[in-house]
Structure 1
Amino acid sequence: MKNKKIVFLSLLLLFGSLQPIFADAEDQESIELNAKIEIEKVSRNIINALRYGRFVLADTEWKKIQSDVYKTFAEYDYLNGSLLYSRMEWQEAKESLNRTLKKEPNHEAASFLLGMIYAQEDSWSEAKETWIETNQISPYNPFYHYNLGLAYFILKDYPNAITSLNKSLEYKANYNEAKLILAKTYLELNQVDKAKIELSSILEQDPKHIQASHLMGRVIYLMDKDPKKSLTYLKNPRALGWREKKVYARCYFEMRMWREAENLLRPIAYSPFADEYDQSFYLNLLLNLGFDERANDFFHFIQKQSQNESKIAEAYRMLLSSREGKDLLYHYFKLRY
């Protein structure tokens, strides 16, 4: 009997000693659960604030999750990367997003945003590789396929651009931005009829779509050689890409509107990637306008051009394409500056 009492007392003491351990474990689980709920709420608030350009609100929300308990979550690093991205602090943002992906490899938003940073840095090959991974994580998002298609277009990988852009349109049928890049891709492949189909579809939905209208004017000139009709599609000369500037300059020239043609062609003629046709065409324009002195200066400018300018021309063309691409990217949320 005495032994039984001793055993009973021992069990009571053991149970009493374990209670604080169980309590501590329960407290820790409760803390982590509450932290998870809080960081999810703050995450929604920060991302929505960034989308609408409410940067002060985003920073205020960020301050709510600065205790150590939040820093173990992948979402903490993602939010930090997002805030750094909005400030255009690319290197620090990349480091934070890579930490996110190390903790949670299938974090699609972090993967997508990492690709955005590479694109902003003109590193389109890295952007492409990153967005390939993003699309593997989330294969049904039209915006992910669109940005990947745009990266392929910038890199002149036109078959893969067409594949990705068609995937985007498969999941978002009336996605005009995807149709626009698809039309540009077809034009690069000299598939003018296919480009016209995509552009007609855009303009049917949105007759005021400036970029589609400008491209349609280029298509009309290539197909019909009708400068007058092509010029009806010109909405804003300042918004023209360099390829379209060449076409519309030719249209103005054929309509004997030489001053307008000269204004459009001038930046092309003086650029490193102007070919002999562009240069002779510009000389002809200057002479037609009676600008003999300017024609003479331009002739001497051509003669002084370096013989190794092919590399400069290609780099310049790539930078122009990259700038155009960044304007056309699908942005998840806004930049501060």
Structure 2
Amino acid sequence: MTYNVAILGASGYTGAELVRLIATHPGLQIVGLSGNSKAGMAMADVFPHLRHLDLPVLTTIEDMDFDGVDLVFCALPHATSQAVIAELPKTLKIVDLSADFRLRDPADYEKWYGKGHAATEMQKEAVYGLTEFYREEIKAARLVAGTGCNAATGQYVLRPLIEAGVIDLDQIILDLKAAVSGAGRSLKENLLHAELSEGAHAYSVGGTHRHLGEFDQEFSAIAGRPVKIQFTPHLIPANRGILATTYVQGDPDVIYETLKAAYADEPFIEVLPMGQHPSIKHIRASNFCHIGVVADRIPGRAIVIAALDNLTKGSSGQAIQNANLMLGLPETEGLMLAPVFP
């Protein structure tokens, strides 16, 4: 069976990634694309790499016809999604790629995003979209909130370790390198080639990054007590990919076996042999996440490294993985594309 889907915000990076992936998905068909700033344009003119596809012309959200649409991917900016989603037909299933429904407590949303939540009733029904850990809830959901790409990477490393109680919860350091596409497609001076290339820099230093709201929410719920990690992201001059290096206290062999067992049956999470570590080169443009564990030279400490593609497993691929579950399709359908290399 083929389901009809629409993409709101198709003129951004995550929107284009959704189109790329759905183009070879046997169970999904794109029947509507919105991009308010590009309304009236063909996707081929906005993204020439998609010109081989027969796609609807971009419209405004107001002009989109939702008759016959089964599911909507909402790839709109933060604070825009909640207002738009609140007005969508109640018959639609929705996968939101923004931050608007990730935090269960509206007060936490206001703390991290600087404004009150405008759709608190819908927030109550939203399911957090980290697929491997909320699979059953996602199957029954009408609204799924995709995770932040940085938040997903860190959680793939830390959730099993926190749940198993094999690391010191007060000694977690996450050092993360993120590619520039994670900042979106809008023009920003610090993302110009001359500003970004041949360098790297930390940002949101000292605990101000918004994805910390997700880490606090999820890790504290697992542990049954407040858990606050030390987290510093860095912007690197790459187009796509995230490399998260996590420093933890615990037995490296136990940490490795815990992660290996946790992901033994997961199609997209690959735990590498002990001592090997991943590269963003090896997961590029795929829905896979690679995790490696290395024993530190200091006894009782381990370094756990994860790599994933922020636009795919960290966003649009994860969104399709969730949509597959919501529509009763095989979870891996349309997502088993091999990484692009070199």
TM-score using structure 1 length? 0.32
Higher strand content, 1 or 2: 2
Larger-Rg structure:
1
Q: Of the two structures, which has the highest relative contact order with CA contacts closer than 8 Å and spacing of 6 or more?
A: 2
Which structure has the highest helix share of the two? 1
What TM-score, normalized by structure 2, do the two folds share?
Answer: 0.31
